[in-house]
Amino acid sequence: MRKPIIAIALLLVSLVATNVWWAYWVVDAGVSYTYLRASYEDSQRALSQALAIIEVVGDGSASRDQIVQAAQGAQLSWEPFEHDGYLWVGRLKLRFNESGYLIEAVAW
């Protein structure tokens, strides 16, 4: 009479353990997918800003204001600010020389 009770208890414990493992796996996959999507959206924003800047800088005579305006046009919700010699506009760090020409652009 004890053997069926032990077998049922072992099956019940293994059923609960596998269900907990599957639940953990599903939640982990959902969180990972959410972070992946956020990373993709950030990369997409940086790319759209870089492409907008390339169009303006292409002829070589673009001023600082034109470049900043192009970068902001691609990402309207970010206000530019200066820090450590860079002008941060959205997902891009821009560095200009004394004449106002773009010398470096870095995605962060």
pTM of the predicted model, to two decimals?
0.66
Mean pLDDT score of the chain: 87
Measure the CA–CA gap between 40 and 1, rounded to whole angstroms: 59
pLDDT in tens, 46-91: 888 888 888 888 877 788 888 888 888 755 667 888 888 888 888 8
Measure the CA–CA gap between 60 and 70, rounded to whole angstroms: 14
Q: What is the pLDDT of residue 85?
A: 83
Q: Which residue in this structure is represented by tokens 């891009």?
A: 92
